[in-house]
Amino acid sequence: MSRPWWKNAVGYQVYPRSFKDTNNDGVGDIAGIIEKLPYLKSLGVDFIWINPIYKSPNVDNGYDISDYEDVQPEFGSLNDFKILLDKAHDIGIKVILDLVVNHTSDQHPWFIESKKSKDNPYRDYYMWADATPDKMPNDWTSFTGNSTWTYDETTKQAYFHVFAPQQPDLNWRNPKLRQEIYKMIRWWLDLGIDGFRMDAISHIQKAPFDYEPPKDDPWKPFMNVKGIDDYMAEMRDIFNQYDIMTVGEASGVSSKQAPEWTDPNKKGYINMIFEWEHNAREGEEGHERINVDEMKQVLSRWQKDQENSGWNALYFENHDNPRINTILGNETKKSAKAIAMSYFFLKGTPFIYQGQELGMTNYPFKSIDEVDDDESQIRYHNMVNSGKDPKEALQIITHWTRDHSRTPMQWTSDIKAGFTEGTPWMKINQNTKTINVESEMADPDSVLNFYKKMIAFRKSEPTFIEGNYDWFLQSDPDVYAYLRTDDKKQFLVIVNFSKQKKIVTLPKELMNDKWQVKLTNTTEKNLTEQFEMEPYDGFVYECEN
Ligand code: GLC
Ligand code: CA
């Protein structure tokens, strides 16, 4: 079998609401993505993953879908999407869409029907159980921290949801529901899209409702639960009929289990998984940073557990996480580049989140009114209701809120960032004065130009596709260092995440005079056993065997 296209591909995540607004209503749109295709091409990416563009009441920014086969009018029309797909394909960019099938919106016609009566034909598309307003069917906790159940007066039962109450979970045990979902999946694939990012896919099966979760693991009843394999296998059999890629958001699937999911010689449900574990935090609530030590261990474990079987998805940023250049870096060009080097040469398919390639930073939230995200809002109000000082609550939720990644893309130094001429749906970070596409294109030393170089370099070296991964300097708390090796070449990646200067001792057996710097964010220098690194120094060295 020849190597699938996505193994040597670089992906770019587009958050459509915040990418580019063309009709000045303050919301990004499909026409905006079309307008920026040449930009994406010049960056060198092979595919884009677009967050949900389907019809939605927008409680969770499109992750609450009310029509799977139509486009949210704010974003444009289905026809606009078809144009985007054609134009992207014309210039060799593939298009992946979000597949959100753990739940729908409570405004989806299926749920509206389901709510009507116990014997409605759509009742079993969702999960209902007897309840009273003060006694839910069980006391499981949802991802919002509140109950997984919402009581409904009409039929005196409660329905189940692992996210917000406006996102009722679909009942995957129902074969009729599954057939509807599969029909929809085929509909999009037949339209010509190149794959799916599968949202919250590890939650589609639930434990029996009398199951009591362990105190320290409240979400266990819907994390990769027994029975999910049957559904995943059914979807795989559809996916395998198309030349597409699939990446699953699959928390609860461990690195040990991952090869079963991603190796086509095993169960091979999907091509790769976005693991969540490496987003390890340390420090007091409201002041957390990434725990570098744990991050290194998690990344290495996933590399090793899928080294000979399965495949990894590589990322630092997405629409659910703060900006990496703030929480791991120090908001400089240099740290943005160091962070980029540290994950881009791991084994797997790298993803870049919009603005990451500019070194965009967190937004300085000053008031709860500036926060859009439903999850952060719920957490804030829970805290304030239980007596927390509102200022402190704001600090806690805004420190790590996913809204940081959702402020508009910074195209120009203009006060509206070249994103819109209207009022943007979310505040624009004022550092767009210096961090923006236009200025960075003109600056040879910019983060953007560094990304371009890095992408081209990664794609030019087959060692980065199949080469082995070896982790060294394992016990250093600040420096991440690894080797990628095949029979022709060896690459050494080394990054200092510390704000201090460091001197590390490299393994003797690596020392020879053939190492050459291929990529760095500082002055080139020879590789030596006693290796001195300034804060956020990063290097990629190459050695021909
Ligand atoms: C995933 C998405 C997130 C969304 C949730 C519910 O975690 O990435 O943005 O809120 O699923 O669909
Ligand atoms: Ca618009």
Residues 214 and 345 in one domain: yes
Count: domains in the chain? 4
Return the pLDDT at 545: 85
Residues 346 and 495 in one domain: no
| Residue 200 beta carbon below 6 angstroms from any ligand 1 atom | yes
Structure tokens at 459: 């794609």
Residues 89 and 17 in one domain: yes
Return the pLDDT at 177: 98
Atom index in ligand 1 nearest the CA of residue 374 equals 10
- Over the chain, what is the mean pLDDT? 97
| pLDDT exceeds 80 at position 174 | yes
Probe residue for ligand 1, chosen from 54, 63, 167, 170 as the CB with the greatest number of ligand atoms within 8 Å: 63
Q: What is the CATH number of the domain that holds 526?
A: 2.60.40.1180
Q: Measure the CA–CA gap between 246 and 262, rounded to whole angstroms.
A: 10
Question: Does residue 54 fall inside a structural domain?
Answer: yes
Residues 316 and 395 in one domain: no
Residues 254 and 374 in one domain: no
39-72 pLDDT, tens digit per residue, is: 999 999 999 999 999 999 999 999 999 999 999 9
Residues 226 and 276 in one domain: yes
Return the pLDDT at 397: 94
Residues 216 and 341 in one domain: yes
Residues 335 and 444 in one domain: yes
Q: What is the CATH number of the domain that holds 149?
A: 3.90.400.10
Return the pLDDT at 1: 58
Residues 427 and 520 in one domain: no
Residues 45 and 87 in one domain: yes
Asked if 538 and 333 count as a contact pair (C-beta separation under 8 A), the reply is no
Question: Which residue among 355, 381, 400 closes a domain?
Answer: 400
Question: Which residue among 434, 455, 476 closes a domain?
Answer: 455
Per DSSP (E only), the strands in 224-271 are 245-249
| Share of residues in the chain with pLDDT > 70 (%) | 100
Average pLDDT over residues 142-149: 95
Average pLDDT over residues 533-542: 98
Average pLDDT over residues 293-310: 97
Nearest CA to ligand 1 atom 4: 63
Return the pLDDT at 2: 79
Question: Does residue 167 fall inside a structural domain?
Answer: no
Average pLDDT over residues 11-32: 98
Q: Ligand 2 mean position to 410 CA, how many Å?
A: 16
Q: Measure the CA–CA gap between 527 and 506, rounded to whole angstroms.
A: 9
Question: Does residue 65 fall inside a structural domain?
Answer: yes
Question: Does residue 37 fall inside a structural domain?
Answer: yes
Residues 450 and 486 in one domain: no
Question: Does residue 169 fall inside a structural domain?
Answer: no
Residues 44 and 191 in one domain: yes
Handedness of CA 158, 64, 99, 6 (dihedral sign): negative
For residue 130, indicate whether it is catalytic. Answer: no
Of residues 53, 75, 71, 161, the one with CA closest to residue 114: 161
DSSP sequence for 38-71: HHHHHHT-SEEEEPP-EE---TTTTSS-SEEEEE
**Cβ atoms within 10 A of the Cβ of 72, count?**
23
Query: Cα–Cα distances in Å, from 380 out to 30, 218, 280, 366?
Result: 32, 20, 22, 14
| Residue 100 beta carbon below 6 angstroms from any ligand 1 atom | yes
Residue among 199, 275, 374, 478 flagged as catalytic:
199
Q: What is the CATH number of the domain that holds 277?
A: 3.20.20.80
Mean pLDDT check: name the lowest of 116-130, 368-382, 507-521.
368-382
Domain that holds residue 431: 5-102+175-364+405-455
- Phi first, then psi, for residue 375 (nearest 5°) are -65, -45
Question: Does residue 168 fall inside a structural domain?
Answer: no
Return the pLDDT at 30: 98
464-488 pLDDT, tens digit per residue, is: 999 999 999 999 999 999 999 999 9
Collect all residues with Cβ–Cβ distance below 8 Å to 246 and sequence separation of at least 6: 195, 196, 197, 198, 239, 270, 271, 272
Model confidence at 498, pLDDT cuts 50, 70, 90, reads: very high
Question: Does residue 498 fall inside a structural domain?
Answer: yes
| pLDDT exceeds 90 at position 106 | yes
Q: Measure the CA–CA gap between 7 and 349, rounded to whole angstroms.
A: 6
